[in-house]
Structure 1
Amino acid sequence: DIYCCLIDMDNFAQYNLSFGKHVGDAILRIVGQRLKKLLPDGLMLYRGIGDNFLILSTTPIDNNAKQSSMILDSLEWECHKQISAPLTISKLVHNVTAAIASCRLDARKASYEKINGVLTFGKKRAKKQGPGGMLALDKAAFNDYARYQEISHSFARALDDGEFYLMLQPQYDGNQHIVSSEALIRWKHPTLGFISPAEFIPVAEESDAIIDIGNWVIEEACRLLQTSQKQGVRTRIAVNISGRHIVRADFAKQLLETVIKWQVNPDMLMLEITETTLISSVELVRERMESLGHEGFSFSIDDFGTGYSSLSYLKELPISELKIDRYFVDEITFQDERVPIVDSIVDLAHALNVSTVAEGIENEFQCDYLKQRGCSYFQGFYFSKPLAEKDWLNAVLSAEKVQVAQTEK
Structure 2
Amino acid sequence: MNGPDQITHWRAAIFTRLVQVCLVLGVFTAVPSILQSAREGLWGVVVVDVIALGWLAMLWRLEHLVAYRARALQFLLITFAVGLALMLQVGPVAHTYLLAVPCLAALLVGLKPAIWLLLAGAVAIVLTGFAPPPDPAAVGLSDDAVLRAAIVALNYLFIAGILTFSCGVLLRHLARSLAEGEQLAFYDPLTGLPNRRLLLDRLANLLASSQRQQVFSAVMFVDLDRFKTINDARGHATGDTLLQLAAGRLSELVRKSDTVARIGGDEFVVLLAHLAPDLPAAGAAAQLVAEKVRAALARDFEIGGQFYACSASIGVTLFPKISLSADDLLREADTAMYRAKGAGRNGIAYFESTMQAEVERRLTLEHELAQAIEQDRLHMAYQPQFDCQGRLHGAELLTRWERDDGSMVSPAIFIPLAEEAGLIVPLGMWALRQACLAQQRMAAQGLALPLSVNVSPQQFRQVDFVQQVRNCLQEHGVEPALLILEVTEGLMVEKLDETVARMNELAALGVRFSIDDFGTGYSSLAYLKRMPLYELKIDRSFIMDMPDDANDVVIVQAILAMAGHMGLRVVAEGVETQAQADFLATHGCHALQGYLLGRPAPLPALLDLLAAQAALSARTPGTSPA
Q: Could you say whether these structures have the same fold, taking a TM-score greater than 0.5 normalized by the shorter chain as the test?
A: yes
**Counterpart residue number, 2:363:** 149
Matched, 1:139 2:353: yes
Q: Per-residue deviation at 1:11?
A: 2.7
CA distance in 1, matches of 2:565, 2:493: 21
1:12 is aligned to 2:230: no
Classify the secondary structure of the residue corresponding to 1:168.
strand
Give 2:568's aligned residue: 354
- Please identify which structure carries the higher helix content: 2
* 1:259 aligned onto 2:477: no
2:406 & 2:533 partners in 1: Cα distance? 38
Work out which of the residue numbers 364, 372, 376 in structure 2 matches 1:162. Answer: 376
Distance 1:264 1:58, change over 3 A: same
Q: Give the Cα separation in 2 of the matches to 1:233 and 1:255.
A: 22
- Cα contact 1:300–1:321 (8 A) shared by 2: yes
Using the TM superposition, give the Cα deviation of residue 350 of structure 1 relative to its aligned residue in structure 2, in angstroms: 0.6
Equivalent pair of 1:2/1:107 in contact (CA under 8 Å)? no
Aligned pairs for 1:199-210 (under 5 A) are 199-210=413-424
Structure 1 residues 346-379: Cα deviation after superposition (integer angstroms, max 9, x where no partner): 1111111010000101110000011111110000
Count of equivalent residues: 404
* Map of 2:192 onto structure 1: none
1:54 corresponds to: 269
Aligned counterpart in structure 1 of residue 402 of structure 2, from 180, 188, 203: 188
Residue 44 and residue 213 in structure 1: after superposition, are their counterparts in 2 closer, same or farther (change >3 A)?
same
For residues 337 and 236 of structure 2, the distance between their equivalents in structure 1, rounded to whole angstroms, comes to 24
1:382 aligns to 2:599 (yes or no): no
Q: CA deviation at 1:33?
A: 1.6
Counterpart contact for 1:2–1:59, Cα < 8 Å: yes
Check 1:107–1:336 CA distance in 2 against 1; reply closer, same or farther (3 A cut). Answer: same
Report the alpha carbon displacement of residue 28 of structure 1 after superposing the two structures with TM.
Answer: 2.9
Most deviating of 389-398 and 50-59: 50-59
Partners of 2:457 and 2:491 within 8 A in 1: yes
Instruction: Answer with 227-236 or 314-323: which moved more.
Output: 227-236
Picking from 514, 520, 524, the partner of 1:300 is 514
* Matches of 2:332 and 2:541, distance apart in 1: 33
Q: Distance in 2 between matches of 1:394 and 1:117?
A: 53
Say if 2:496 is the partner of 1:270. Answer: no
- 2:428 matched residue in structure 1: 214
State the Cα deviation string for residues 38-92 of structure 1 (Å, max 9, x = none).
x9x7x643222133211346569989x4443333333322221222345667887
Say if 1:7 and 1:344 are closer, same or farther in 2 by CA, change over 3 A. same
Counterparts of 1:9-408 in structure 2 under 5 Å? 9-13=224-228, 14=230, 17=235, 20=238, 23-37=241-255, 44-56=259-271, 65-85=279-299, 95-103=309-317, 106-110=321-325, 112=327, 114-115=328-329, 117-130=331-344, 132-190=346-404, 193-334=407-548, 336=550, 339-407=553-621
C-alpha separation in 2, matches of 1:221 and 1:295? 16
Q: Which has the higher strand share?
A: 1
Range that drifts further, 291-300 or 87-96 = 87-96
Query: More deviation in 354-363 or 44-53?
Result: 44-53
Comparing 70-79 with 116-125, which one deviates more in the overlay? 116-125
Note the C-alpha offset of 1:129.
4.8
Q: TM-score, normalised by structure 2?
A: 0.59
RMSD value, Cα: 2.9
Cα distance change on mapping 1:211 and 1:139 into 2, 3 Å: same
Contact 1:3 1:61 in 2 (8 A): no
2:21 maps to which residue? Answer: none
Distance change in 2, residues 1:122/1:169 (3 Å): farther
Deviations 1:86-126 (A, max 9, x none): 566788766542121234574524462x5555544544443
The share of aligned pairs that are identical, in percent, is 26
Aligned residues of 1:118 and 1:145 also touching (Cα < 8 A): no
3-state DSSP of counterpart to 1:200: helix
Moved more, 348-357 or 274-283: 274-283
**Mean alpha-carbon deviation: is it higher for 74-83 or for 232-241?**
74-83
3-state DSSP of counterpart to 1:301: strand
Q: What CA distance in whole angstroms lies between the structure 1 residues aligned with 2:331 and 2:537?
A: 37
Q: 1:72 to 1:221 in 2, by over 3 A?
A: same
Which digits, 9 at most, give the CA deviation of each residue in 1:377-404, with x for residues without a partner?
0000000111122222222222322233
Conservation of the 8 A alpha-carbon contact between 2:545 and 2:552: no
The runs of 5 or more residues in structure 1 that have no matched partner are: none
State the structure with bigger RCO (CA 8 A, min sep 6), 1 or 2.
Answer: 1
Task: Quote how far apart the aligned CAs of 1:6 are.
Answer: 1.1
